[in-house]
Amino acid sequence: MQELIERIRKDGKIKPGNVLKVDSFLNHQIDPKLAYAMAQEIKRLYADETVNKVLTIEASGIGLAVLTGYLFECPVVFAKKSKSSNVSDDLYTAKVHSYTHGTDHTVIVSKSYLNPEDRVLIVDDFLANGAALEGLRSIVEQSGALVVGAAIAVEKAFQPGGARLRAEGMRIESLAKIASMSDDSIVFCEE
């Protein structure tokens, strides 16, 4: 998506360790007009699919997910991060490893909000190692619902998550796909 790529070139900041900071328009401060355009692009990419639920994970995916759900006219569920290894009969849970922080956390979704008849689009801001997406897929599968696919704002295609999950059959559409990064430049994949 050209508009997002240009914004990353303009306002993204590269930090040591292949960290891309998009805090000024996506993660900490959000540009709602850009986010709406991104949701429209997700709607266009998945126009051939029936989606009746959008699933994301708190916190930074929520804005994009709510706009996406607005366009699909369906509810949006956000998985919560739990400090405890919260196991309860009422919850679907998955363990997600954070490569950035080197920690594990548990994500939870109430069983009330995912049903076997759901066709779920997973929305998130970043895809790198794929841990969050894997956790969300596991939660959808536990519910018996179908993962229609995932829509990601920024994919770091030089990290293994996208390739692995696509090889496992998951449809993933990324609005900006980064082929490589160095300390002072970003190369995007061919569109």
Angle at 139 between CA 79 and CA 125, to 5 degrees: 50
Residue 8, H or E segment:
helix 2-11
CA distance 51 to 94: 22
Nearer to its own copies by C-beta: 109 or 154? 109
The minimum distance between CB 121 and its own copies, in angstroms, equals 13
Whether the Cβ atoms of residue 126 and residue 100 lie closer than 8 Å to each other = no
**Least CB distance to its own copies at residue 83 (A):** 9
Q: Which is nearer to its own copies, 75 or 144 (CB)?
A: 75
Burial letters for 136-163: b for 16+ Cβ neighbours within 10 Å, e otherwise? bbbbbeebebbbbbbbbbbbbbbbebbe
Give the residue with the Cβ less far from its own copies, 138 or 159. Answer: 138
- Select 26 or 127, whichever has its Cβ closest to its own copies: 26
| 93/143 Cα distance (integer angstroms) | 10
- Smallest separation, CB 75 to its own copies (Å): 5
Nearer to its own copies, 83 or 182 (CB): 83
Residues making contact with its own copies (CB under 8 A): 23-25, 28-33, 35-36, 58-59, 62-63, 65-67, 69-70, 73-78, 80, 109-110, 112-113
Least separation in angstroms between residue 78's CB and its own copies is 7
Calculate the CA 25 to chain-centre distance. 16
Shortest distance (Å) from residue 91 CB to its own copies: 11
